[in-house]
């Protein structure tokens, strides 16, 4: 069975000539292109923006001062560099927004693969029991298509972890986007109205910690939970998957470890919103999404 899957996985649940299937294929390929763009932002654009645009303006010093509870320097920097800060946050928002469909893209793929694996095992068992019969017992392509597209209960019965993975990932991404947007508006508004020599707002440290915990601990923790369950679901059924997808599942577990470590570290020192693991965790997560995107854009309909 594995050799068959290795050879045909790219179109294993995409059958040519069925409009709904081709629609699913087009959607997955479009999503994959979005994941590639997101990875490009995370790996190339955002680091370059930090190094070439933010660093020369003293952003790191202002951020470090804020981490020590001294927000006057941070507000002063925001007052003179509001547009640069907005540009940085906008890149983050776009990068995460492009990943919003990722949890349910993986959900559909894993459910379809599990369903097709069950069908092949059932067909093999039937053929073994009735060796004289040559009639196929597999589901018709049109029916199989509807099952993969509509995600029936039978496709994931007893596999609630995959549902948890999809929803925790989507909630985590949504929470990160929402908190990042709100915190951007909050800090920009404070920076715009700040004048040199003014005292820092009394609640700024509280809000900075709250924003950091919600986005970089709670939201990233939910994303880590999602990558963990996706990785487990692929690895536990590795006989159903090509080697590339199995390796992708193992990498998801490594991504989980780094994201979780970063989330816990930030929870212990939330004001800066950074830890030693944040950068490697983000880059590895971006590489993981790059891998997924590259596999999805190569999906082809069955000839």
For the stretch 115-147, pLDDT in tens is 776 666 666 666 666 655 555 444 444 444 344
pLDDT at 224: 97
Give 194: exposed, middle or buried? Use CB within 10 Å, 0-12, 13-18, 19+: buried
pLDDT at 137: 47
Q: How confident is the model at residue 114 (pLDDT cuts 50, 70, 90)?
A: confident
Q: Which of 177, 191, 251 has the alpha carbon at shortest distance from 62? A: 191
Going by the DSSP 8-state scheme, the letter that residue 70 receives in this structure is -
What is the predicted pLDDT for the residue at 94? 98
Instruction: Give the pair of three-digit tokens for residue 228.
Output: 């963990």
Kindly list the domain boundaries of the chain, sorted by start residue. 2-129+136-296
Instruction: List, for residues 133-188, the tens digit of each pLDDT value.
Output: 555 444 444 444 344 444 444 444 447 888 999 999 999 999 999 999 999 999 99
- Average pLDDT estimate for 100-113: 91
Q: For 201-239, what is the HEC assignment?
A: CCCHHHHHHHHHHHHHHHHHHHHHHHHHHHHHHHHHCHH
Give the Cα separation of 31 and 49 in Å (integer).
25
N- to C-terminal Cα distance for the chain? 20
pLDDT(41) > 80: yes
What pLDDT does 153 receive?
47
Q: What is the structure's pLDDT at 115?
A: 78
Please give the mean pLDDT across all residues of the chain.
Answer: 82
How much is the pLDDT for 124?
62
Rounded distance, CA 13 to CA 246, Å? 18
| Residue 140 phi, psi (nearest 5) | -60, 150
Average pLDDT over residues 71-78: 90
pLDDT tens for each residue of 232-279 = 999 988 888 889 999 999 999 999 999 999 999 888 876 655 668 889
Higher confidence at residue 21 or residue 34? 34
Over residues 174-226, the pLDDT tens digits come to: 999 999 999 999 999 998 888 777 788 888 989 999 999 999 999 999 999 99
């Amino acid at each position: 069975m594995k050799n068959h899957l290795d050879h045909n996985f790219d179109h294993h649940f995409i059958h040519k000539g069925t409009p709904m299937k081709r629609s699913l294929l087009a959607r997955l390929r479009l999503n994959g292109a979005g994941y590639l763009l997101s990875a490009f932002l995370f790996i190339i654009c955002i680091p370059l923006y930090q190094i070439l645009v933010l660093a020369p303006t003293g952003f790191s010093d202002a951020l470090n001062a804020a981490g020590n509870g001294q927000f006057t320097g941070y507000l002063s920097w925001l007052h003179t560099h509001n547009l640069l800060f907005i540009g940085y946050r906008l890149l983050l928002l776009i990068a995460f927004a492009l990943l919003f469909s990722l949890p349910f893209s993986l959900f559909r793929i894993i459910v379809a693969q599990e369903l097709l694996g069950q069908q092949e095992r059932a067909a093999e068992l039937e053929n073994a029991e009735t060796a004289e019969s040559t009639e196929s017992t597999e589901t018709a392509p049109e029916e199989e298509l509807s099952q993969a597209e509509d995600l029936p209960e039978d496709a994931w019965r007893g596999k609630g972890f995959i549902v948890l993975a999809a929803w925790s990932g989507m909630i985590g991404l949504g929470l990160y986007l929402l908190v990042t947007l709100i915190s951007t508006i909050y800090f920009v508004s404070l920076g715009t109205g700040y004048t040199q020599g003014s005292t820092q707002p009394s609640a700024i440290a509280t809000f900075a910690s709250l924003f950091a915990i919600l986005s970089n601990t709670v939201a990233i923790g939910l994303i880590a939970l999602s990558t963990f369950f996706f990785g487990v679901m692929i690895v536990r059924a590795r006989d159903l998957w090509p080697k590339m997808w199995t390796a992708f599942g193992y990498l998801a577990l490594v991504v989980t470890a780094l994201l979780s470590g970063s989330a816990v570290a930030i929870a212990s020192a939330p004001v800066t919103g950074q830890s030693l693991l944040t950068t490697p965790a983000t880059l590895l997560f971006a590489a993981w999404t790059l891998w997924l995107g590259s596999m999805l854009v190569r999906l082809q309909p069955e000839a």
